[in-house]
């Protein structure tokens, strides 16, 4: 009997992933960040969110054989100023030709600014200014856009949730339509009360998240949590050595939830050349 050989269905191929620029962190995420979905990176100030995003801008330029997308990036920032000096420092050690020519930067001051920029970005995706397509979108950070424009009233909370879903829908559409990786950073808020998670709700693999000795939760609540496909949490803790009396910062990346990943975590460090996992 002659075996029937069926053509390969592209829908059955594993999704392309974007390297984080570190094999240890890529191993935690089973190859990197997936194309076609929205990944949130949450953490307190100075946890390493922006540092990791800058590294992703450079990783996107790499060829697929090295875990990249051979692509340009769009970086939308709401935290000011944009860290150009740090990006230049990272790019100088990345062995890439003119990497800054393929990184487009825009500032958003409100959720409405962000929606306008995302709508305008459709033309950037369709007709990129350089020979490389735009396939990475970074929004740093989403929480900063909602920091002061909304009160804790039912009408404002309803308006805020509507904007969450509208922003997320646009990001997911661009991720699917243009085969892009979307990364959104988020801040954290302190949690007081039940050990069963924020407001008694457990989201993902952990009932509680800790950073700098405090129990915290990603900002913007359950409505925003339902808008992202994957949530990564970056924590930090300062430890004092008994022998020297000197303190050092330990950092950890945790997979809070992801449809394609099990629970896991990895320690990492931020050094001059970038963000790198620590293999124990």
Q: Which of the pair, 155 or 32, is modelled with greater confidence?
A: 32
In the chain, % of residues over pLDDT 70: 89
The conformation of residue 3, written as its DSSP 8-state character, comes to P
Q: Name 92's Cβ contacts closer than 8 Å, sequence gap at least 6.
A: none
Going from the C-alpha of 82 to that of each of 75, 105, 156, 197, the distances in angstroms are 9, 8, 29, 33
CA 111 to chain centroid, in Å, comes to 18
Alpha-carbon gap, residue 215 to 201, rounded angstroms = 14
Q: List pLDDT tens digits, range 248-269.
A: 899 999 999 999 999 999 999 9
pLDDT tens digits along 200-224: 456 677 878 999 999 999 999 999 9
| Displacement of CA 31 from its chain's centroid (Å) | 15
Poorest-pLDDT segment among 38-42, 68-72, 189-193, 203-207: 203-207
| pLDDT at site 12 | 52
Would you say residue 199 has pLDDT above 90? Answer: no
Write the CA distances from 200 to 195, 217, 255, 256, integer angstroms.
Answer: 8, 12, 20, 16
103, 76 contact by CB (below 8 A): no
Burial category of 152 from C-beta neighbours within 10 Å (exposed 0-12, middle 13-18, buried 19 and up): exposed
What is the per-residue pLDDT for 150? Answer: 74
Question: What integer pLDDT is reported at residue 207 of this predicted model?
Answer: 76
Closest CA to 134 of 102, 108, 111: 102
Q: Give the per-residue pLDDT at 8.
A: 47
Task: Please tell me the predicted confidence (pLDDT) of residue 242.
Answer: 61
| Banded pLDDT at 235 (limits 50, 70, 90) | very high
pLDDT of amino acid 157: 81
Residues 6 or more apart whose CB falls under 8 angstroms from that of 225 comprise 203, 218, 231
Q: Is-contact 63 251, C-beta < 8 A? A: no
- Is the pLDDT assigned to residue 79 strictly greater than 90? no
Q: What is the pLDDT of residue 63?
A: 95
> What CA–CA distance (Å, rounded) separates 268 from 74?
25
Domain 15-277 in CATH: superfamily?
Answer: P-loop containing nucleotide triphosphate hydrolases (3.40.50.300)
Indicate the pTM of the whole model: 0.90
Q: pLDDT per residue over 94-121, tens digit each?
A: 778 889 999 999 999 999 999 999 999 9
């Amino acid at each position: 009997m002659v075996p029937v050989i069926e053509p390969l269905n592209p829908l059955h191929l594993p999704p392309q992933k974007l390297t984080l620029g570190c094999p240890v962190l890529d191993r935690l995420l089973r190859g990197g960040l997936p194309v076609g979905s929205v990944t949130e990176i949450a953490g307190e100030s100075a946890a390493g969110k922006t540092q990791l995003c800058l590294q992703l801008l450079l990783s996107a330029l790499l060829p697929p054989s090295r875990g990249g997308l051979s692509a340009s990036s769009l970086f939308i920032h709401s935290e000011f100023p944009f860290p150009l000096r740090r990006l230049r420092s990272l790019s100088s050690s990345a062995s890439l030709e003119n990497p800054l020519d393929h990184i487009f930067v825009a500032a958003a001051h409100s959720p409405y600014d962000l929606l306008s920029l995302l709508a305008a970005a459709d033309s950037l995706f369709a007709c990129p200014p350089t020979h490389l397509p735009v396939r990475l979108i970074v929004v740093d950070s989403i929480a900063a856009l909602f920091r002061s424009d909304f009160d804790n009233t039912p009408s404002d909370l309803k308006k805020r949730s509507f904007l969450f879903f509208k922003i997320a829908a646009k990001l997911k559409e661009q991720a699917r339509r243009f085969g892009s990786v979307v990364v959104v950073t988020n801040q954290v808020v302190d949690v007081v009360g039940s050990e069963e998670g924020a407001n008694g709700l457990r989201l993902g693999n952990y009932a509680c998240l800790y950073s700098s000795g405090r129990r915290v939760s990603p900002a913007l609540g359950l409505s925003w949590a339902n808008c992202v496909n994957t949530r990564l949490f970056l924590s930090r803790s300062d430890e004092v050595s008994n022998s020297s009396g000197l303190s050092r910062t330990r950092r950890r990346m945790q997979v809070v939830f992801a449809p394609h990943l099990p629970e896991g975590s990895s320690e990492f460090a931020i050094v001059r050349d970038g963000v790198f996992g620590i293999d124990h």
